[in-house]
């Protein structure tokens, strides 16, 4: 005795809701999202003592070093 199992169409979306697809074999369309701007990495050389103080102070204030630097660059560019 053999059992036939049928599968629905293969999902074509980039990241489908797999649980939903497994349960219903249908996929709800993903919401339209704004295109995210590509991120570029930047490297800077600073003295170790300055890095240590910056890291310590930003940590004490609960702020990420990268967020602070991005904010300073945005302020500079927009002024």
Judge whether residue 16 has pLDDT over 90.
no
pTM of the model: 0.54
Q: Which of 30, 1, 25 is nearest to 13 (CA)?
A: 30
Is 26 part of a structural domain of the chain? no
Tell me which residue range forms the domain holding 47. 42-79
- Percentage above 70 pLDDT, the chain: 71
Contacting residues for 16 by C-beta, under 8 A, at least 6 apart: 27
Is 14 part of a structural domain of the chain? no
CA dist., res. 16 & res. 66, Å (int) = 32
Q: Give the pLDDT of residue 73.
A: 96
Is 48 part of a structural domain of the chain? yes
What's the number of domains the chain is made of? 1
């Amino acid at each position: 005795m053999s059992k036939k199992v049928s599968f629905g169409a293969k999902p074509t979306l980039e990241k489908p809701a797999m649980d939903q697809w497994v349960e219903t074999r249908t996929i709800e369309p993903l919401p339209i999202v704004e295109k995210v701007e590509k991120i570029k990495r930047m490297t800077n050389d600073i003295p170790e003592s300055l890095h240590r103080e910056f890291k310590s102070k930003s940590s004490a204030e609960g702020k990420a070093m990268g967020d602070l630097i991005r904010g300073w660059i945005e302020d500079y560019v927009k002024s």
